[in-house]
Amino acid sequence: MMAAIEAGKNNKKVLVLEHNSEIGHKILISGGGRCNFTNIYASPENYISSNPHFIRSAFSEYTPSDFISLVEKYDIEYYEKKLGQIFCRKSSKQIINLLIDEAELYNVEIKTSTKVNDVNKLEDCYEVLTDNGYNISNKLVIACGGLSFPKKGATDLGYRIAKKFNHKIIATYPALVPFVLPVPQMKKLSELSGISFDSNISLIFNNKPRSKNKKINFSENVLITHKGMSGPAILQISSYWQKGDNLKIKIEPNLDIEKLLEDNSKSNKELRLLLADLVSQRFADYLCYELNIHKPINQLSKKDKVKIIDLINNFIVTPIETEGYAKAEVTIGGVDTKELNQKTMESLKHKGLYFIGEVVDVTGWLGGYNFQWAWSSGYVCGKSIS
C-alpha cells in the first residue's frame, strides 16, 4: 500500500493485488488491536540482516517522524506505550483506513480476493496470472510478507517469485516467537503458567551468532506458558536464538540479590517468603524447590547464598524449539538484500522488479520496528517508480 500510494503520487496507473478479502489483516491484529505502527527510536541497529547496512538509505529517506506526520494528517490519536513504541489510541482499523484513503486520493486500484498463481517476464514487462485473469505491467512490486501468521493468509509466494527470477533466499525462520521447553522442565513449570516476571535475558551460544553483537540482551517481561516461555523479552531474544543455544535469564534485573540477603541476614523469615516479596509466591516456591533450600535467612550457609545468587542472576533455560510460524510475528531471512538496490528496492538482476517489506532479509525487533521497515521500504520503492 505504501509503495502503491507513492507511485500513485507520480501519476502512475497502480493496481494492488490482495488475496485476502480485505487488505491489512496483519495490521488489524497488531498491537492487541491498536497497531504499534512505529517506534520513534527505530534505527539500523534494531534490525537483523545478513547485510545490516542495507536499510540505512531507506531510513534516511523515510523516518518514524514522517509516518507519524501522516497519522496526524488523518487526526488519528496515538500515544507512546513504552520504549518508543507508538500505538493508535483507538483502533488498528484507523491505519488501514488511512492507507485506503491515501490510495483513493492518488487513484490506486485495489483488487481483493485475488490469488496470484504465477508471474512471467515478457520482453519489457511482467505478466501476473491470477484466478481472476491476468495483468500486465512494466513495473512489479513484491510485497507478500513472510511466513508468519498463516491463518491470516501468509504464504511463501514472495519467495517463490524471487526464486523464479534467480534471487537468492537467505534461510527463513520464525522470529518474535514463544519458546517450547523440554518436557521435564515443563513438568516443574506447568503449574506456573500465566506467571510473569521482569528479566534481563541474553544467549549462551552453541551456534554461530546471527548478530555481530554477541552481547545482545533485552530487559523486559517474561511470561511462563503451558508450553514454555513467552512475553516481550522472550520474543525479542527468539530472533537471535538458534537450536542448541541456551537462554540466560537474570530474574528481576533491578534487584541486587546479594545485598538483599546481606540486609536480611539476621531475619528468621523463610527464603520463600523473602523471594515472594519480589516475584509471585508460586514462582518463589518453585525457585526454592530448584535450590532445595527451605529454611530461614538467618540459617543460610555461605554455600546456600552462592546458590541463590547464581540462580537469580543466571537462571538457565534450554528451549527445544519455538512455537513456529503459527505464533511468530515475523520471519527472519528472505530475499538477499545484496541483490537489491538499497535506494529503490529494485532487483539488480531484473529491471522493473522490486521487493519490499518482510519478504526481504530484514527483520526488526518487537515494538513497531517491522512496521517502520514496511513504511520506509515501501516509500523509497514507490517514489522511485516514475
Count CB neighbours of 243 within 10 A: 12
Predicted local confidence at residue 76, as pLDDT: 98
Predicted local confidence at residue 213, as pLDDT: 76
Listed in sequence order, the residues at least 6 apart from 351 whose beta carbon sits closer than 8 Å to its beta carbon are none
Predicted local confidence at residue 215, as pLDDT: 85
From 119, 113, 116, 117, select the one nearest 136 (Cα to Cα): 119
What Cα–Cα distance (Å) separates residue 259 from each residue in 36, 255, 286, 287? 38, 9, 22, 18
Predicted local confidence at residue 332, as pLDDT: 97
User: For the chain, where do the domains classified as CATH 3.50.50.60 start and end?
Assistant: 2-172+331-384
User: For the chain, where do the domains classified as CATH 2.40.30.10 start and end?
Assistant: 179-322
What Cα–Cα distance (Å) separates residue 155 from each residue in 57, 159, 326, 331? 28, 9, 12, 11
CATH entry, 179-322, from 1.10.10.10, 2.40.30.40, 2.40.30.10, 3.40.720.10: 2.40.30.10
Q: Are 205 and 214 in contact (CB under 8 A)?
A: yes
Query: pTM surpassing 0.85?
Result: yes
The answer to whether domain 2-172+331-384 has CATH 3.50.50.60 is: yes
How far is Cα 50 from Cα 80, in angstroms, rounded to an integer? 30
Listed in sequence order, the residues at least 6 apart from 164 whose beta carbon sits closer than 8 Å to its beta carbon are 119
Q: Are 358 and 334 in contact (CB under 8 A)?
A: yes
**SS3 of 363, please?**
strand
> Which residues are 39's β-sheet partners?
85
Mean pLDDT, each 10-residue run in order, the chain (386 residues): 98 96 92 96 95 95 98 98 96 98 98 97 95 96 95 94 98 97 88 95 91 87 96 98 96 94 95 94 94 96 97 96 97 98 98 98 97 98 96
| C-alpha cell of residue 71 | 497519522
Predicted local confidence at residue 372, as pLDDT: 98
Helix axis angle, 93-105 to 2-9, nearest 10° = 20
How far is Cα 75 from Cα 274, in angstroms, rounded to an integer? 50
